[in-house]
Amino acid sequence: MNVIKTALPGVLIIEPRVFCDERGFFKESFSAQRYRDIAGITLPFVQDNQSRSYRNVLRGLHFQRRHPQGKLISVTAGAVYDVTVDINPNSATFGQHIAVELSATNHRQLWIPPGYAHGFCVTSDVADLSYKCTDYYDAADEGGLAWNCPDLGIVWPTAHPLLSTRDQQHPGLTALIAQGC
């Protein structure tokens, strides 16, 4: 397993060992002991989620306000452009983001500790995501950040994403901080 640190504190790209042959592949997608010892992920996972989205669907940027979730994200079919944004106004990397391609082909995973905003845009015809969460989802605790906030400077892989009504209405970074995100 290879662990790559990113420019955001605690956010990691994880490349699991993949064993391929003419029959296909095998990989260990999670082991509490290995991820603790090698990647330093010690928080317990309490909820697993799966989603399917289609080309140019953009989901995000989402976060939980009082009960932030750490997430270990994998793509099991297709490919996405995955983005993490530091929304902690006391952080040295506040307002900065990282972006990484996650795909069923590259097998990469993304570890996002609690306290970050997260979103993705589908770059294949269809993409299935699987993510393990360190806290339970609570709709009343949900927050969002505008995907196209100019303060973030995210260059998404599509100019015309397919967005939910809710994702079209999230505030930009300045308004989010004024609300006390």
Look up 116 and say whether it is catalytic.
no
Name residue 50's beta-bridge partners. 130
* CA proximity to 13, closest of 121, 106, 93, 77: 106
Spot the catalytic one: 35, 81, 116, 131: 131
- Is residue 151 a contact partner of residue 172, using CB atoms and an 8 Å limit? yes
Cα separation of the two ends of the chain: 35
pLDDT confidence band for 176 (50 / 70 / 90): confident
Comparing 58-62, 165-169, 172-176, the range with the smallest average pLDDT is 172-176
For the 44-178 domain, the top CATH level (class) is mainly beta
Look up 160 and say whether it is catalytic.
no
Which residue has tokens 């082909």? Answer: 105
Asked whether residue 181 carries a pLDDT value surpassing 90, the answer given is no
pLDDT of residue 177: 81
Spot the catalytic one: 62, 97, 118, 170: 62
| Euclidean distance between CA atoms 92 and 86, whole angstroms | 9
- Is residue 18 a contact partner of residue 107, using CB atoms and an 8 Å limit? yes
pLDDT confidence band for 83 (50 / 70 / 90): very high
